[in-house]
Amino acid sequence: MENTITDTASTTENTATRSVPAPPTYSSDASTWLKTLPNSLDRTDLYALNDGDFAVKCVRELLEKPRFELPVEATHPASLWFSHFFFESRNREKVFGTRNLGVGYPMVLARVGGYDLSAPLFIWQIQLEPHAQHPDEWNVQRTEAQRILPNYPLFHLIDTLRGTDFTKRARQLADSGAIGTHALAELADGVRMQLSLTEEGLALAVQPCPTKDELERTQAEGQLRWSAVAGIFPSLPRTTVTEAPAVAPDQPNGLEWQHGLTLLPLDPSQRMVLQTVQKNTLTVVEGASGTGKTYLISALAINALSNGKKCLVVSKSISALRRAQKFLLEKGFGTCRLCCATPRATS
């Protein structure tokens, strides 16, 4: 009888253990979104950029205005961050066609699924412009071209482990173009309760991030902290469909590819798209403005042409076509033609 009881208890325990979802693994770029602290050259506490009330003003502008321009004076060592943010973000936009400079807010500081998190819930894209006459003065700008990006790795991690739908909710908020203070506070409170976190600071206020010495203890306790991080956030693909289309699931690609060279440097997610294009009949890639779609389509066109294929690029945006043409011309594909057409008026 004792053996029967022991075996039953062991079976129950094993079943319970197997029912716990395994934490997902993430790429290095996605891991960067999960671990933004301690301060580095690419990311820093928003409070570290100015001795005054810049952090408070910046977060207030992000939450209340879709467009703004905020002047700020950067003394040493903050001037090093501003210069690095400016040149690094410009280089990435020039090379990859992506916008990677942003402010993340608020912060989840906890240990979840084996990850030591220092992850913002959302990233508000911004841009920097240097002052024309004063080297230590900058303008922080936000225009309609800048987007709000959910921290998809963070929400995916929580959804996987807890069976929640934070990814969907966060996407809906970001797609609206503006996240109201009430909606942000409600989502943040849901994350806090789901992860059993304490709350540090007043909701929708701004306070400094924990120091390097405080970070480990804060993560062990688990905290939702109303702090902000500024810096470079690598681009992440939002959705990549890599299966054959339902209309012709058995239709082979029918094309032979000799190589995967593009002459344009690709990150891992863009390289995956290229491999998918060479294999499947149809590939759909979706991404927000500034995530590098035009750059990627230029790389795909270069690869197709260098493999002896015919290539047609169609877009409703003339600027996107001109940008794609520019990439190809710079790489020596000088026979590309740009055709423009406008819909005819109908009576």
163-179 pLDDT, tens digit each = 999 999 999 999 888 89
Query: How far is 69 from 50, CA to CA, in rounded Å?
Result: 16
- Say yes or no: 307 and 168 in one domain: no
- Say yes or no: 189 and 88 in one domain: yes
For residue 302, is pLDDT > 60?
Answer: yes
Please give the tally of structural domains in the chain.
Answer: 2
For residue 144, is pLDDT > 80?
Answer: yes
- Say yes or no: 284 and 223 in one domain: no
Query: How far is 4 from 16, CA to CA, in rounded Å?
Result: 18
- Say yes or no: 88 and 188 in one domain: yes
State the pTM of this model. Answer: 0.70
Range of the domain at 199: 21-232
For residue 81, is pLDDT > 80?
Answer: yes
- Say yes or no: 62 and 200 in one domain: yes
- Say yes or no: 118 and 256 in one domain: no
Is 88 within the bounds of a domain? yes
For residue 111, is pLDDT > 80?
Answer: yes
Phi, psi angle pair for 172, to nearest 5°: -60, -40
343 preceded by a cis bond (ω within 30 of 0): no
- Say yes or no: 253 and 269 in one domain: yes
For residue 252, is pLDDT > 70?
Answer: no
- Say yes or no: 180 and 282 in one domain: no
Is 345 within the bounds of a domain? no
- Amino acid residing at 264: L
Is 278 within the bounds of a domain? yes
Is 50 within the bounds of a domain? yes
Is 166 within the bounds of a domain? yes
- Say yes or no: 134 and 102 in one domain: yes
- Say yes or no: 200 and 181 in one domain: yes
In this prediction, residue 344 has a pLDDT band, given cuts at 50, 70 and 90, of: low
Instruction: Provide DSSP, 121-174.
Output: EEEEE-EEEE-SS-TTEEEEEE-TT--EEE-HHHHHHHHHHH---HHHHHHHHH
- Say yes or no: 90 and 133 in one domain: yes
Sign of the CA dihedral with 254 first, then 257, 262, and 265 last: positive
Is 28 within the bounds of a domain? yes
Is 315 within the bounds of a domain? yes
For residue 183, is pLDDT > 90?
Answer: yes
Q: pLDDT value at position 142?
A: 94
For residue 267, is pLDDT > 50?
Answer: yes
State the average pLDDT over residues 140-152: 92
Q: pLDDT value at position 176?
A: 85
Long-range CB contacts (within 8 A, 24+) of 160-166: 160/21, 160/23, 160/24, 160/113, 161/21, 161/23, 161/112, 161/113, 162/194, 162/195, 164/190, 164/194, 166/190, 166/191, 166/194
For residue 2, is pLDDT > 70?
Answer: no
- Say yes or no: 37 and 93 in one domain: yes
Query: How far is 30 from 154, CA to CA, in rounded Å?
Result: 9
Q: pLDDT value at position 119?
A: 97
Q: pLDDT value at position 156?
A: 92
Q: pLDDT value at position 254?
A: 66
106 preceded by a cis bond (ω within 30 of 0): yes
| Residue from 266, 280, 264 nearest 326 by CA | 264
Is 5 within the bounds of a domain? no
For residue 7, is pLDDT > 60?
Answer: no
